A and B are shown apart, each in its own frame.
Chain A
Amino acid sequence: MLGATGRGGTGLAGARAAGLSPRNTLGPMLVALTVAVSVAALALAAWCGFAAYRDQPTKDWHFIGMAVVSVLALAQLVVGIVQLARGEQADEGSVIFVSYLLGALFAVPAAGFLSLSERTRWGSVTVAAGAVVLAVLEVRLHDIWEG
């Protein structure tokens, strides 16, 4: 119990020392969104990979999945920009941070549009590849923010 409270204490103190505002709940939110986008992207990659395995093109449900992932990425972009506006610093610089956030936002929709022109399994493979690219971008985003 002592250990638990001790860790909680340093965690809060650490957050206060690192952040400029004492009650910044957006920090944990950004981490949560990064995890959520990564998990959703990997799930989408597996789903579209499975569709390709079954020799199927992307269908309406896949596009709904892509929309969900993109909405999460958009939320991440907004929270990231608000964090920068509040004076938080990205470890590798705000230009790189915002560039990666924009890349993360457009990765899956761009692959989705391409798959509209290719109504075969290869459209599904491309969306799966786009989702993997997004997952990789999320790992890089975490490094860029935390250092």
Chain B
Amino acid sequence: MTTEGADGAPVRLVRGPGLLLVWLYGVMSVGAVSRSVYQIATEFDRAPLAYALSAVAAAVYAFITYTLVRGGETARKAALLCCAAELVGVLTVGTWTLADPSAFPDATVWSDYGMGYLFIPVLLPVTGILWLRKSRR
């Protein structure tokens, strides 16, 4: 088994543990996208930095969900790259919110390493990278 199936079909990423992964990414996408749309539309001036960062997180989640569903080697690589970017983002924003709380009048999705989301934001990219590496075979 290489990057493609024996019949040349693109590698499916949504199978086995990948299904759980795509479900959690889907949930985070819906949550982060609707949250940032609402906050930017109604109260952007209150915490521009926090809401802009939430929007970035939302875009990353939506893109990873799309690549996982799409499947194939190119999508797998793109998803791997985005998971790495996501992990860097969570760690950076998590540390930033702890080091300089005054810059964040309101929480972002990635505040305190995603504590408000049961630490799923910091666990997802790690499991995502493990799964995507395993799917390469």
Residue numbers of A with Cβ under 8 A of B are 95-96, 99, 103, 107, 110-111, 114-115, 117-118, 120, 122-123, 125-126, 129-130, 133, 136
For residue A96, which residues in chain B have a CB less than 8 angstroms away from its CB? 38
**How large, as a class, is the contact surface on chain B?**
10 to 19
Chain B residues within 8 Å of A, Cβ to Cβ? 14-20, 22-24, 26-27, 30-31, 34, 38, 118
| A110: B residues at CB distance < 8 A | 23, 26
> Could you tell me if A136 and B118 are in contact, using CB atoms closer than 8 angstroms?
yes
A136 to B17, CA, bound (A): 22
| CB <8 Å contact, B16 and A118 | yes
Known: A114-B19, A118-B16, A122-B17. A129 touches B24 (CB 8 A): yes
- Compute how far the CA of A26 lies from the CA of B34 in the bound complex, rounded to whole angstroms: 28
Partner of A117, one of B19, B27, B38: B19
Q: Is there contact, CB below 8 Å, between A111 and B30?
A: no
Main secondary structure of the interface of B (DSSP, over half): helix
Bound Cα distance from A107 to B23, whole angstroms:
10
A90 CB to nearest B CB, Å: 14
* Smallest CB separation, A44 vs chain B (Å): 15
> In the complex, what's the smallest C-beta–C-beta distance from A26 to chain B, in angstroms?
26
Q: Is the interface of A mostly helix, strand, loop or mixed?
A: helix
Of the candidates B16, B17, B27, B34, the one whose C-beta lies within 8 Å of that of A133 is B27
Known contacts A118-B15, A133-B27, A136-B118; A99/B34 CB under 8 A:
yes
> What would 10 A/B residue contacts be, using CB atoms closer than 8 Å?
A103-B30, A103-B31, A110-B26, A114-B19, A122-B15, A122-B18, A125-B20, A126-B20, A129-B20, A130-B23
Say whether B23 contacts A111, CB under 8 Å: yes
Residues of A within 8 A of B15 (CB): 118, 122
Q: What is the CB-to-nearest-CB distance from A107 to chain B, in angstroms, rounded to a whole number?
A: 8
Question: Which residues of chain A are near B23, meaning CB under 8 Å?
Answer: 110-111, 114, 126, 129-130
